[in-house]
Chains A and B, each alone.
Chain A
Amino acid sequence: MNFSWISTYWPLLAAGAVQTVLLLVISVTLGFILAIGLALAQINEPRAIKWLARGYCTCLRGTPLLIQLWLLYYGVGSLLPLIPGLRASFLWPILREGFFFAAVSFTLNYAAYEAEVLRGALLAVPKGELEAARSLGMSPAQVLRRIWLPRAIRIALPTIAGEIVLQLKATPLAFTVTVMDLYAVAYKIRQDTLLVYEPLLVVTAFYVFLTLLVTRVFRIVEAQVPIRR
């Protein structure tokens, strides 16, 4: 085992770790917001929107993330320059990057999984609490904001932690669309130094560390609002 390369490559490793964490944070936060909308659409009328949301979740959960990423990056990416004026606009430097496509596809994918989790949690909130809120004269928006959503999120917390870890483990896919994330850095080091296992081991340790961090943080958050049994 030879780890002497770390001293030369640590700036790259740190940059890669930042990219990985950024991808995770962006996809989880934006995906969560999207998931709230999708979950509500799935349990409310009108029927057309309900089926649309269901179809979205089925399609995104039924196809591999790798294919979704490539469909966006290669497929949509090859169609984007056809839009007149887009190439010259200020958005182009962002739209050209693999990072943008990775962030978008991870967000859309995470939202589909999270929406299913939230749908179950929203339905698991005791009916009496919602009726009590309504009887106090709260508007539907207030019921959602004050009672329904906070209760549902509390119920879903353990599952959300699991989903975030799964999302973290999906981020290395970004390396297939030229994002220099942690895994891509390991790949580059392997090519430069011809070491097969050591870079993978170091990167793996970082992913395991992040996983532990996520589970610990969620354990603390869960302890804030204990569920009475």
Chain B
Amino acid sequence: MSSALSLLELLSPYPPGWGGVLIAGALSTVAISLGAYGIGILVGLLGALGKLNGNRPVTAALDLYTTAVRAVPELILIVGLYYAGTDGINRMLLALGLPAIEINGFVAAVAVLGIVQGAYMTEVFRGAILAIPIGQIEASKAFGMRPSLRFRRIVLPALIPNALPGLANLWMSVTKDSALIAVVGYQELALATRLAAGNTKHYFLFFFAAALLYLAITLVSNVIFSALELHFRRGQPKIA
């Protein structure tokens, strides 16, 4: 490799190094993941409550949502929702007589991944709620708690430890799924890496560096989730 820059210079965070681009990409990957995860948790909680307490049409619609999202490849979902979403919103605006808008890539990415995450979250939360001993919920009803109070005081604290392993899995998968956003052209870690690699022709170096960054995100999240689980399971008997 007779390049003017050494490998370390290539990775330095200041131009002409590409390290800064990679770090910025990694930060936007984390930001997209956090946003999508938050939306996913909200959608998932509502979906789970809807599936458990809703009437026929509501449960049927939610079943369709979770089955469809989980049966279709993520790449197709992301590409489809990305175009359908931006296109649909612009058509709606047009019908209302408003000018079309350019939808921010970040917002679109977060929304699309959030919808995908929501389907998986629905199932995780449904299982976690069903795993709460029914006596606890009956007891809270017997004390005359309103549904909202019951949810906040009894159901939510009891479901979190049950849901945490599933939630940890989903966080890992959203950080990795966010790489698919690269295909629709929003610059996060994967696309930033491809840009850096394409410009310098040091493909191996940059993809390896990106893999290490993703691995670092995964390992740090592992530590955080074990700490969370320890916190939320305090006072519970240890499972073997």
Q: Point out the residue from B73, B87, B197 that lies within 8 Å of A207, measured CB to CB.
A: B73
Which of chain A's residues have a CB closer than 8 A to the CB of B204? 71, 74-76, 78-79
Which of chain A's residues have a CB closer than 8 A to the CB of B79? 200
A63–B176 touching, CB < 8 Å: yes
> Once the chains are docked, how many angstroms separate the CA of A65 from the CA of B73?
13
Which of chain A's residues have a CB closer than 8 A to the CB of B203? 70-71, 74-75, 77-78
Known: A70-B190, A173-B180, A200-B79. 15 other contacts (CB 8 A): A59-B211, A62-B218, A66-B179, A66-B182, A66-B190, A74-B194, A78-B203, A78-B204, A169-B73, A169-B74, A176-B183, A183-B76, A197-B83, A204-B73, A208-B71
Closest A residue to B83 by beta carbon equals A196
> Once the chains are docked, how many angstroms separate the CA of A173 from the CA of B201?
22
A67–B76 touching, CB < 8 Å: no
**Could you tell me how many residues of chain A have their Cβ less than 8 Å away from some Cβ of chain B?**
36
Q: Interface digits, B175-208 against A, CB 8 Å rule (1 contact, 0 not)?
A: 1110110110000001001100100010111011
Knowing A64-B179, A66-B190, A71-B207, the reply to whether A204 touches B75 (Cβ < 8 A) is no
> Once the chains are docked, how many angstroms separate the CA of A211 from the CA of B73?
10
A207–B211 touching, CB < 8 Å: no
> Once the chains are docked, how many angstroms separate the CA of A172 from the CA of B72?
11
Knowing A62-B214, A63-B218, A64-B179, the reply to whether A204 touches B208 (Cβ < 8 A) is no
> Once the chains are docked, how many angstroms separate the CA of A78 from the CA of B207?
12
B215 at the interface (CB under 8 A from A): yes
> Once the chains are docked, how many angstroms separate the CA of A70 from the CA of B177?
15
Q: Interface digits, B205-223 against A, CB 8 Å rule (1 contact, 0 not)?
A: 1011011001100110000
A171 at the interface (CB under 8 A from B): yes
The interface of chain A, by Cβ under 8 A from chain B, is 58-59, 61-68, 70-71, 74-79, 165, 168-173, 175-176, 183, 196-197, 200, 203-204, 207-208, 211
> Once the chains are docked, how many angstroms separate the CA of A64 from the CA of B32?
15
A70–B207 touching, CB < 8 Å: yes
B197–A74 touching, CB < 8 Å: yes
Knowing A67-B190, A74-B197, A207-B71, the reply to whether A197 touches B84 (Cβ < 8 A) is yes
Closest A residue to B77 by beta carbon equals A204
Which of chain B's residues have a CB closer than 8 A to the CB of A170? 73
Which of chain B's residues have a CB closer than 8 A to the CB of A74? 194, 197, 203-204, 207
B73–A183 touching, CB < 8 Å: yes
B157 at the interface (CB under 8 A from A): no
5 closest Cβ contacts across the A-B interface?
A: A75-B204, A62-B218, A71-B207, A74-B203, A64-B179
Residue of B72, B87, B190 ringed by the most chain A CB atoms within 10 A: B72
Chain B interface mostly helix, strand, loop or mixed? helix
Closest A residue to B216 by beta carbon equals A62
Q: Point out the residue from B75, B197, B215 that lies within 8 Å of A59, measured CB to CB.
A: B215
Q: Point out the residue from B73, B176, B194, B214 that lies within 8 Å of A168, measured CB to CB.
A: B73
> Once the chains are docked, how many angstroms separate the CA of A65 from the CA of B177?
9
- Give min CB distance, B188 to chain A, whole Å: 10
B165 at the interface (CB under 8 A from A): no
- Give min CB distance, B78 to chain A, whole Å: 10
A172–B71 touching, CB < 8 Å: no
A208–B72 touching, CB < 8 Å: yes
B72–A169 touching, CB < 8 Å: yes
Which of chain A's residues have a CB closer than 8 A to the CB of B172? 61-62
Which of chain A's residues have a CB closer than 8 A to the CB of B54? none
> Once the chains are docked, how many angstroms separate the CA of A211 from the CA of B68?
11
- Give min CB distance, B169 to chain A, whole Å: 11
